[in-house]
Amino acid sequence: MVQWYPGHIARAERNLREQLKAVDIVLEVRDGRCPMSTRHPLIPEWIGTKPRVLLINRKDMVAEADRAAWTRFFAQRGHAVTWTNGSMGDGVGKVMELSAAVGAKLNAKRLARGLRPRPVRAVVIGFPNVGKSALINRLLGRRVADSAPKPGVTRSLRWARIGGDIDLLDAPGIIPMSFRDQVAAQRLAMCNDIGEAAYVDSLVAAAFLETVRGLPAAPQIARRISERYKLRVEDYQEEEYVHALGDRLFNSEPERAGQRILKDFRSLALGPICLELPPQYEACKEV
């Protein structure tokens, strides 16, 4: 249902791996509405032993109870996550602190080997549209200075110095997606986190309706949808609903109905909705 362009995947993967070679710390951004679907299974392998900080963005788009459940889920698997809001800057101070702590460790090792201290090098990576650039801008917003080009593999990359002791790559690393996991792919499409891919809005909107039907907050969400479109969602199968909404509001064009539902979800007009919750991922040890 969701298709990618293979050329894009190969290019993105090459760029990302070059960026990862150049850094000491990886700031991996996930979408708070689907923190596990915005996980790439190969990232731990690509990162190796470098420290990885998990930033769960779009804090404002996830209800507090769901955020708490995810924080517990990650903590149980050994990861203290930081919730961020790229638009407002929440969590950015914490990201600076965590990066500086990695820098302090790195420089302690360098000193022990008789080397001079240097700024810690960081990159922000994540799927398209999860909020990487917004977070980078927020990080850079706190005292930016131009930084000298680095030798070797880092020469072709552009850096900006923040706070005197952190060098941040000024272009985010985009995680390429594989074709396999269609459930994750659908959620990425719902959230618009999919980059160069093709999908049919009416089908993704129907999948969205099916997904929210399975959530604990389903009755409240159904009420909001029914009220918003003046069409009771409980009376229809998901695809039928999108078609009925097309008939009602969009001159019998289901694609436009699908686009409207997705737009309303993405703009919070249907309230904060977390598409996936920890119980679905209990068996996952790797996060």
Ligand X SMILES: Nc1nc2c(ncn2[C@@H]2O[C@H](COP(=O)(O)OP(=O)(O)OP(=O)(O)O)[C@@H](O)[C@H]2O)c(=O)[nH]1
Closest Cα partner for 66 from 281, 278, 280, 284?
A: 278
173 binds ligand X (CB under 6 A): no
Backbone angles phi, psi at 197, to 5 degrees: -135, 160
Q: Any binding-site annotation on 173?
A: yes
Q: Any binding-site annotation on 103?
A: no
| Minimum CB distance to ligand X, residue 85 (Å) | 4
58 binds ligand X (CB under 6 A): yes
User: Would you give the binding string for ligand X spanning residues 92-131, x where CB under 6 A is met?
Assistant: ----------------------------------x-xxxx
Q: Any binding-site annotation on 31?
A: no
The number of residues that bind ligand X (CB under 6 A) is 18
Residues 88, 80 contacting (CB under 8 angstroms)? no
Q: Any binding-site annotation on 271?
A: no
| Minimum CB distance to ligand X, residue 148 (Å) | 25
CA–CA distance, 276 with 230 (Å, rounded to integer): 27
Q: Nearer to ligand X by C-beta: 43 or 249?
A: 43
174 binds ligand X (CB under 6 A): yes
CA–CA distance, 279 with 259 (Å, rounded to integer): 29
Closest Cα partner for 218 from 274, 279, 278?
A: 274
From the CB of residue 202, how many other CB atoms can be counted at a distance below 10 Å? Answer: 22
Q: Nearer to ligand X by C-beta: 87 or 147?
A: 87
172 binds ligand X (CB under 6 A): yes
CA–CA distance, 16 with 46 (Å, rounded to integer): 9
Q: Where are the beta strands (DSSP E) in 82-193?
A: 82-83, 120-126, 144-146, 159-162, 166-169, 173-174
Q: Nearer to ligand X by C-beta: 131 or 254?
A: 131
Q: Nearer to ligand X by C-beta: 126 or 278?
A: 126
SS3 140: helix
Q: Nearer to ligand X by C-beta: 232 or 266?
A: 266
Report the residue from 19, 38, 57, 99 that binds ligand X according to the rule CB under 6 A: 57
Q: Nearer to ligand X by C-beta: 195 or 278?
A: 195
82 binds ligand X (CB under 6 A): no
From the CB of residue 244, how many other CB atoms can be counted at a distance below 10 Å? Answer: 19
Count of residues in the chain? 287
Tokens, residue 16: 């990302």
Binding site for ligand X (CB under 6 A): 57-61, 85-87, 126, 128-134, 172, 174
Which residues contribute to the annotated binding site?
57-60, 173
Which residues contribute to the annotated binding site for GTP?
57-60, 173
